[in-house]
Structure 1
Amino acid sequence: MLPTPDSLAVDAEASVAPVRRRRWGAIIAISLLGVALAGAVAGCAWFFLQLDAAQNRISEQEQELEQQRELIDEKETFGAAMDALLESTVKFDDVLTASVVPWEDYRRLAVQAWAHRWDADAVASDTRAVEQAAAELDASWNEAQQQAGSNASGSGYEAVIDRLSGGFVSSVVDDAKAICADGDDGGDRELLACVFNDDPYVVHFDAAADSVPYMNDELRAGIAYHEFAHVLQITNPTATREALPAFDGDGEVMADCFALTFLDGWQLDHRIWTSDYEYWDVNIGYGTACTGAQQQVVRDWHAKLGVELQPVSSKAL
């Protein structure tokens, strides 16, 4: 049967409808593709942002590790420097002038390093301070060895002081009367020598007194022993505080007693013959000879003197 106009119209409409569906379908597909691409771009951006953050974090962690390694290295260097310093103190064991090794300064350096334990630069500075302390201690030792082996002034005073001190105390023959005049409590006695509290490693002997006609090596030795007792009193303050009450707190009487105890044949009163018919009666010291009990106090005091090796520690770095 031939199609009627109505059926043709139906067929025509039917043939048109699929075309419209394909157009909408194409538009929808393109839009979905655009959304998908946009999602992919956004995803890549997020990935790159995450990767960049991770790389920054890795860089920060590497920097932290490097700082930790540097800190560990500085702590080890400090420890080695402190070990070397303490090793240098060993040779000072029993040197009579105890304060020649400044233990409190070394403890302060150790405690300071502990306080700086998280700061590599500060620990490095502490290490340099320890190395400087070791250099100064070694220099003190070397200087003492040279001093003990020479007599720069050529005097009998220096020979005795070098022997008693092991070279750690120097002797100067100068205008001791003028230098030592401040605080002189010798009354009408002639001042022969002195030691200063703030500089106990130098003994001043008076040049004019050394040239008087009655001066001889026996007197010089007694004077040197007396002055060396003052050196020991100043450089060993704790032991000295314990001993002084036996002398009513008089350090001069104690110094005389030291000479009377340790210098064989020493006495305070001397008759010095300067010719066959001329002599001088000389009293050296402060006029009081010590008792046997006081001499024992001096011996006990002397036995406590000197450098004692001590631990220097802080909390572990």
Structure 2
Amino acid sequence: MSATHNHGHAHHGHSHGVTNERRVAIAMWITGGFMVVEALGGYLSGSLALIADAGHMLTDTGALALAWLAVRFARRPADDARSYGYHRAEILAAFLNGAAMMALAWWVIFEAAMRFMEPAPVLATPMLVVAAGGLLVNIASFWMLHGAGDSLNMRGAAVHVLGDLFGSVAAIAAAIVILLTGWMPIDPILSVFVALLILRSAWNVTRDSAHILMEGTPAGLDPDAISSDLVANVEGVVDVHHLHAWSLGSGRAVATLHARLAPLADAHAALAGIKARLGSHFDIGHATVQIEPGDCIDEARMDHKHDH
């Protein structure tokens, strides 16, 4: 059996990575700076909603720092130790961010349950002022991240900031209700509502990043459908097998496959056709293709075993 191997790469612009890095850094400093103000405001006012939001901001600052480092790492070129480069750094950061947010959401729910059993007084006026400032800060941070792409890493960071934004809205609503009615349970009730919203978003980011880390097949790619498509559309290809597809990072699908050719088929033309088809119809930017002019050696061995 003769084999031909070929690799293809898809690269993103250097300037795009630098822009994302700058946007994440600005969002990190904005969030981290106001986190101190909100924590102090929550402590002085006695508001669980503010304390929860300050906790979100603390994890946000860490999450944005991770995202910032991940963007820097992802721009580093491949080396002998990491031949695929550092794209997985972004996915690892997204996974850690999602897991941290899920843990924080459960902590808020637990604290809210404690507040129901032992109600605590809340100073609504300072709570309202701080929450309003937090809302403006979160809007600014979310706007910065919104223009920084749609990778899982950016999604993970944006989930944190979006959770904070919801937290600020909930804290404002709770402060207004307490000011108008004096009804204290609204504080833990809205805290739980926000925690559940965050839990759902954080779970999605954690699940998607874990799927990539486990080298699962990218969403929307069916190996059997790809094999059938290549046989039907690439001249000289009669069978495609051992096809595996996974992701290096968000939007960076890769694949390996064996392709058996018809007798006298042009191997170089078939190889070029396979790679072009994978790129144009399945958005697979990196492929390792093994061309087999005859039966697959694995199948030949199996047939030999059956004969005996």
TM-score range (shorter-chain normalised) is under 0.3
TM-score (norm 1): 0.24
TM-score (norm 2): 0.24
Higher RCO (CA < 8 A, seq sep 6+): 2
Please tell me whether Structure 1 or Structure 2 has the larger radius of gyration of its CA atoms: 1
